[in-house]
Amino acid sequence: MKAIKGRVAVVTGASQGIGRAIALALAREGASVGLLARSKEKLLAVCAEIEALGGRAGVYPCDATDYPALRRALDQANQDLGSIDILVNNAGVGTFKPLEKMSANESEAPIALPFGAAVVASHHVIPGMLQKGEGHILNLTSPAGYFPFPYMVPYTAGRFAVTGLSYSLHEEYSRRGIGITLLCPAQVDTGYFERNDADMGWYPRLAQMFPVLKPEEVGQQAVKAIKKNKREKIFPFLLWFSVKFYLKFPRFTFALLRILGLLQPVNKPPHR
């Protein structure tokens, strides 16, 4: 999708962090943006930012794990803004701790969001895109979508699922006019650990090797990936190299990471 100007985009998890940054980046390119998240107040603030840029936005509060509500929100955005050209599946949650220490909700939530919501949203918008013969879906994952990290089993499973979803969508629809992009940044400074029950202490020490990105950098990369119809964008370069090396030599990579202690938690003693 070479030109974003005049397109209609919908972003899930748009009230803050990466979702907000992508929504603003799309608006700067001239897209009308449907903003989806649970907090109406925060969405209105993002909407005001977009309007201050001279852009157009709509606010659609919903819990993306309530799939009927998600479909209704997408329908309303389609009615208010026009047929959806770009879908950004960004919303996600996750708790980091040993699996046996998680509550039932903590173990279930990372599957419903991002994976379940991404499947539902994609299923809902693809018919309209096929009818027009064009469109773009951008799916957010994380390094946990490639590396089977300990102490974040449901989160890793959900992100692996998004990776597989994106690859599969690409194979099915890329030749039918719909671009599919999997976007994977390293850790991003979004305040996620402060807002969620996601203890940074259980994060693998490997994460400290990579620079912490700003949400605005992710927004810029998202726009570039859509314009260039990228199948996959992993950044920065060190993360891209690490992922590709692991995929080529998985057993060797994890044996080396264990020897170096990089799979151990940042601030916690090894779990026994």
Reply yes or no on whether the pLDDT at 194 is more than 70: no
Please spell the DSSP secondary structure of 150-182, one letter per residue. Answer: TT-HHHHHHHHHHHHHHHHHHHHHGGGTEEEEE
Widest pairwise Cα distance in the chain: 56
Rounded (5°) CA angle 16-113-119: 115
Q: How far apart are alpha carbons 187 and 96 in whole angstroms?
A: 14
Question: Residues 68-126: pLDDT tens digits?
Answer: 999 999 999 999 999 999 999 999 998 889 999 999 999 999 999 999 999 999 999 99
Long-range contact set of residues 242-250: C-beta below 8 Å, sequence gap at least 24: 242/143, 242/209, 243/143, 243/146, 243/147, 243/184, 246/146, 246/147, 247/146
Whole-model pTM: value is 0.93
Rounded (5°) CA angle 144-246-233: 60
In the chain, the domains with their CATH numbers are: 8-259 (3.40.50.720)
Q: Which residues are catalytic?
A: 155
Question: Residues 127-151: pLDDT tens digits?
Answer: 999 999 999 999 999 999 999 999 9
- Residue 159 CB neighbours (<10 A): 26
Question: Residues 245-260: pLDDT tens digits?
Answer: 999 999 999 999 999 9
Edge-to-edge strands, sheet with 135-140: 57-61, 32-37, 8-12, 86-89, 135-140, 178-185, 232-235
Q: How far is CA 194 from CA 89, 183, 198, 233, 241, in A?
A: 22, 23, 8, 27, 29
Considering only residues 13 and 267, tell me which one the structure prediction assigns the higher pLDDT: 13
* Token output for 19: 């979702």
pLDDT in the model for residue 269: 52
pLDDT band at 270 (very low <50, low <70, confident <90, very high): low
pLDDT in the model for residue 141: 97
pLDDT in the model for residue 264: 87
Q: How far apart are alpha carbons 268 and 101 in whole angstroms?
A: 14
* Token output for 268: 């916690």
Q: How far apart are alpha carbons 264 and 150 in whole angstroms?
A: 8
State the number of CA atoms in the 13 A half-sphere of 104 facing the CB: 0
Which parts of the chain fold into alpha helices (H)?
A: 17-28, 40-52, 67-81, 104-110, 117-132, 153-173, 192-195, 215-227, 237-248, 250-259
Residue recorded with tokens 């990776």 = 163
